[in-house]
Amino acid sequence: MSYDLYLYFKPAVRRDRILQYFAARKNYAVVKDKVSYENPDTGVYFWIKLRCTRNFLLQRTVASAEFEINYIRPSFFGIEAERELSAFIAAFRPRIEDPQMHGMGEGPYSREGFLSGWNFGNLFGVHSRLSDKSAGDIPSLPAETLRAVWTWNDQRADLQLRKAGCVVPMIRFLYLDGRLRRVVIWGDAAAIVLPQVDYVLVGKLIASEKRVALVPWPEILEVAKRARFDTSRSPLSLAYLVTPPPIAEWLANIPLIDFEALPGDRLEAHQVIDDELIAEARERFKQDQQASDSD
């Protein structure tokens, strides 16, 4: 299931102009006439399919395009996609057709209109998934938590530029003891900037093998305090040229296991849905079921 938005260019735009636009932006790739966006830090992805013709000079031009993004995704998917879509529309000013319920119809384009249509379709997609008894449970976390994870991952590259000499890790998701947890990787006691998470995956190489320990956040704070770092601020900045003795000693004595033996399933960001979205979809499913039973 996906959201589809149709874009029409009049006059048609030279194809090389559009390709130059995407080449100047991050996370885009073009194969023939299909433009793919995929952000490796946030997990957000979508496609734009170009419909090409030739003008009177036989130059390839784009007469129309189709924007497509999947449903059954966390709410931040729509927010990031809209950011990219609105920039593209501002650059080329196409006419739009939005066939989605609660969408924009024939325009004009607006952020609120796009999110209205996509959010409604996303809710319907989750509702359909919940109605399918063979589909299984949908992993979820509160919307506030998912937005915080998305914001950190989305801004990670910029923070990395400001924190030269420190690692700025990506937040990932891991199932542990039946619960979904936020984790980051801290390798070889490198200087690092840590967001608050549930666990830190502390690792190092031993005889060319990856060895790791899954450390709860309170223990990370305790070690940082012993090394005289300010733990009252978020994110936690552990900046140093030489590993402080308390951290080095702690790492030397921490129990490590083989990376491949790490417990729990790893999930991609797009697989984790907002709790609130699932609750709303369940309520809709309940209402539909009651209506069906009364017929």
∠ CA(71), CA(72), CA(75), 5° rounding? 90
- Token readout for 127 is 């509702």
Number of domains in the chain: 2
Q: Which of 95-109, 130-144, 179-193, 255-269 has the lowest mean pLDDT?
A: 255-269
Model confidence, pTM: 0.89
276 domain-assigned: no
Per the structure, the complete domain to which residue 164 belongs is given by 143-267
Q: How far apart are CA 139 and CA 128, in angstroms?
A: 15
10 domain-assigned: yes
- Fill in the DSSP letter of residue 42: T
Name the helix (H) or strand (E) containing 127.
Answer: helix 111-131
Same domain, 163 and 108: no
Same domain, 30 and 91: yes
pLDDT band at residue 134 under the 50/70/90 scheme: low
86 domain-assigned: yes
- Contact between residue 44 and residue 26 where contact means Cβ atoms under 8 Å apart: no
Query: What CATH code is carried by the domain that includes residue 122?
Result: 3.30.310
Compute the chain's Rg from CA coordinates.
23
The H-assigned helical ranges of 132-211 are 143-162
| pLDDT at res. 279 | 93
- Contact between residue 80 and residue 137 where contact means Cβ atoms under 8 Å apart: no
107 domain-assigned: yes
| pLDDT at res. 35 | 97
Same domain, 102 and 191: no
Question: Mean pLDDT across the chain, nearest whole number?
Answer: 90
Q: Which of 131-135, 213-217, 249-253 has the lowest mean pLDDT?
A: 131-135
Q: How far is CA 54 from CA 14, 35, 66, 93, in A?
A: 9, 19, 18, 20
Q: How far apart are CA 173 and CA 159, in angstroms?
A: 21
Q: Which of 48-57, 191-200, 211-220, 277-286 has the lowest mean pLDDT?
A: 48-57
Q: How far apart are CA 30 and CA 44, in angstroms?
A: 17
171 domain-assigned: yes
- Sign of the torsion formed by the C-alpha atoms of 132, 136, 142 and 146: negative
pLDDT band at residue 155 under the 50/70/90 scheme: very high
Overall average pLDDT of the 215-243 stretch: 94
Q: How far is CA 206 from CA 212, 215, 258, in A?
A: 10, 18, 10
Nearest to 78 by CA among 26, 119, 127: 119
Q: How far apart are the first and last CA of the chain?
A: 28
Give how far the C-alpha of residue 157 lies from the chain's centroid of Cα atoms, to the nearest Å. Answer: 14
Query: What CATH code is carried by the domain that includes residue 232?
Result: 3.40.1350
213 domain-assigned: yes
Taking each helix axis from N to C end, the angle separating 143-162 and 275-294, rounded to the nearest 10 degrees, works out to: 150
286 domain-assigned: no
| pLDDT at res. 176 | 84
